[in-house]
A and B are shown apart, each in its own frame.
Chain A
Amino acid sequence: MRPAPRSSALWLSSGLLLALLYLLPHSAGLFAWLFPEVERPLYTQDSFASLVLAHLLLVLASSLIAVLGGVTAGLLVSRPAGREFRPLLDSVLAISQALPPVAVLAIAAPLIGFGEWPALIALVLYGLLPVTQGTLAGLASVPDSVLDVARGLGMGRWRILWQVELPLAAPVLLAGVRTSVVINIGTAAIASTVGARTLGLPIIVGLSGFNTAYVLQGALLVALLAIVADQCFDWLARRLSPHVGAEH
């Protein structure tokens, strides 16, 4: 029998996040003691819970688009018909990754205005590369012999894709999605510079007002959120691949 997936790290980190969310509004005294030079030691313009929610929604929306787009692009260029577009896709993704997120925001904001939309665009662009790379690497990791036999046994193209290629590519593909989401949780904080409501708000307000307490409060939550998301994927990855069992 294989041991049940360990999920203690997931419980620990999410418990910590919930505890922090509950305790932060009551921690004015602590931060006043830590940062005596700061006039208002606790960020109170928005509730932290609503910022976490808004942050998550933005990450979720952008990651969903990035995953759909990235997996589709990866699948298309790995089919015989789309193979010639592979170099094009590679360079487009390389360019999108080379642009710093702040630059994307700076270009997007004047064009489509401030708020959630430029943030969404920047995050989608950022999330695409790891997902596409994960999809391509995952599909490439499927042994040729398995595909040869799948065809030889009389499976059709779609069946091979759904029942053989995608399940076997899933662990590597998921690793790409994991990277993408975790990066986006961090990057989403920057999106507050163009007026998106995220956990970056206390950080940016704190940075511009020399309020280290605000920066710390926002950063703690962003970091914990990223750890929780990472642990979620870790758990999912172990649930997803029962066939790579104890022997490896």
Chain B
Amino acid sequence: MTMLELKAVNKFFNGWQAVADVDLQVAAGELAVLIGTSGSGKSTTLKMINRLIEPDSGSIRLAGEDIRSQPPEVLRRRIGYAIQSVGLFPHWTVEQNIAAVPALLKWPKARIRERVVELLELLHLPAAQYLSRYPHQLSGGQQQRVGVARALAADPEVLLMDEPFGALDPVTRGTLQQELLRIQALSGKTIVLVTHDIDEALLLGQHIVLMDKGRVVQQGRARDFLLHPANAFVRDFVGQSDVGVRLLGLDTVASRMRPQQQASGEPIAASATLREALSAFVARRVSSLPVIDAQGRPAGVLHFADLLPVAT
């Protein structure tokens, strides 16, 4: 089922075309990534979905319904929204911040409290400790967790995220990316995420949309971008010299290992990517690695040669 559909969407700012003829479909439960350089129109496209920016022409449908069929405030309460600078209300506690949309929707107090606690636990912030804190008492990573919790609070149909992890240090960013994948797998939310980071796009995006000068240059799966770039711009953007390594990043050890075999040595997790495996091969100077599953039991062996896919 298509959750979100943009058709021939155009937007001009003072005669300059920010978004040009954008066609886009996001299936329900899909994590779509809009990627591009600054000024490519990706953020503008995102903001047209919750009507923070009104398109000049074209149509946008949410769950089959034209988004102009209801007042913007009502529409926005159905759509989660998280941004790079987080934008927590500094004069409200963590609880009040997360409760913002449920409060607008006039949920009963007990239900709001229950939901806030549930979300804090989901984002690994112990409720007892964080409910009554103010934003300035949180680290950047914790603030963005609260920002994501706030966006998810009223169980929105779609979650829009505008470079949500852009301002975080690499370690915190990595953790939050994994958590987003976990939350998405858990909740099956439709998510549209904007980023300029190709690795973030390849890691998170089930459907990737590359934009340049307001136009969609290519859209599809991560693998298509790496193996079949539409043109030189795409090839440059995905980083010509790193294509091989990035391809390895798309597959897990489990998909290439030989399950019947056993080997000794320091093991690698079956859920690790082949990119991590490559790094382990080189760093440990070995040509085969024992693989363990999530429970720590031996699951097989990965040989260096297995990194090369079987010709198809």
Residues of A within 8 A of B (CB): 143, 145-156, 159, 164, 167-168, 241-245, 247-248
For the complex, give the distance between the alpha carbons of A248 and B90 in Å.
13
Q: How far is the CB of B255 from chain A (nearest CB, A)?
A: 39
Task: Please give the number of chain B residues whose Cβ is less than 8 angstroms from any Cβ of chain A in the complex.
Answer: 27
Structural contact, B136 and A153, CB atoms closer than 8 A: no
Q: Taking the complex as formed, is B115 at the interface, i.e. its CB lies under 8 A from any CB of chain A? A: no
Task: State whether A154 touches B90 (Cβ < 8 A).
Answer: no
Chain B interface SS verdict (over half)? mixed
Determine if B81 and A152 form an interchain contact, defined as CB atoms under 8 angstroms apart: yes
B residues sitting closer than 8 Å to A (CB atoms) are: 50, 52, 72-77, 81, 83, 85-92, 100-101, 104, 134-137, 150, 160
Q: A145-B83, A247-B136, A247-B137 are in contact. Are A155 and B73 (CB under 8 A)?
A: yes
Q: How far apart are the CA atoms of A147 and B83 in the complex, in Å?
A: 12
Q: State how many angstroms separate the Cβ of B107 from the closest Cβ of chain A.
A: 14
Q: How distant is the Cα of A149 from the Cα of B203 in the complex, in angstroms?
A: 26
Cβ distance A248 to chain B, nearest Cβ, rounded Å: 7
Q: Do the beta carbons of A151 and B91 come within 8 Å of each other?
A: no
CB-defined A-B contacts under 8 Å, sample of 30: A143-B87, A145-B85, A146-B89, A148-B52, A149-B81, A149-B83, A149-B87, A149-B88, A150-B89, A151-B76, A152-B52, A152-B81, A152-B83, A152-B160, A153-B76, A153-B77, A153-B81, A153-B101, A154-B73, A154-B75, A154-B104, A155-B73, A164-B89, A167-B91, A168-B91, A241-B91, A243-B135, A243-B136, A244-B90, A247-B137
A145 and B76 contact, Cβ closer than 8 Å, known pairs A152-B52, A152-B81: no
Interface pair B90/A243, CB less than 8 Å apart: yes
Q: Let me know if B90 and A146 touch, CB within 8 A.
A: yes
Which 10 interchain pairs have the tightest Cβ spacing? Answer: A154-B76, A149-B87, A152-B81, A145-B87, A145-B85, A154-B77, A243-B91, A154-B73, A243-B134, A146-B87
How far apart sit A84 and B86, CA to CA, in the bound complex (Å)? Answer: 31
Chain B CB within 10 A, most for which of A152, A156, A248: A152
- The residue in chain B whose Cβ has the minimal distance to the Cβ of A167 is B91
| B134 CB contacts on chain A under 8 angstroms | 242-243, 245
A156 to chain B, nearest CB (A): 5
With most chain B CB atoms within 10 A of its CB, the pick from A155, A156, A167, A245 is A155
Selected contact of A152 from candidates B50, B88, B90, B136, CB within 8 Å: B50
By beta carbon, the residue of chain A nearest B75 is A154
CB neighbours (8 Å) of A153 from chain B are: 76-77, 81, 100-101, 104, 150
Residues of A within 8 A of B135 (CB): 243
- Neighbouring A residues of B83 by C-beta, 8 Å: 145, 148-149, 152
Complex Cα distance, B135 from A243, in Å, reads 8
Give the residue name and chain of the B residue nearest to A147 (CB). Answer: B87
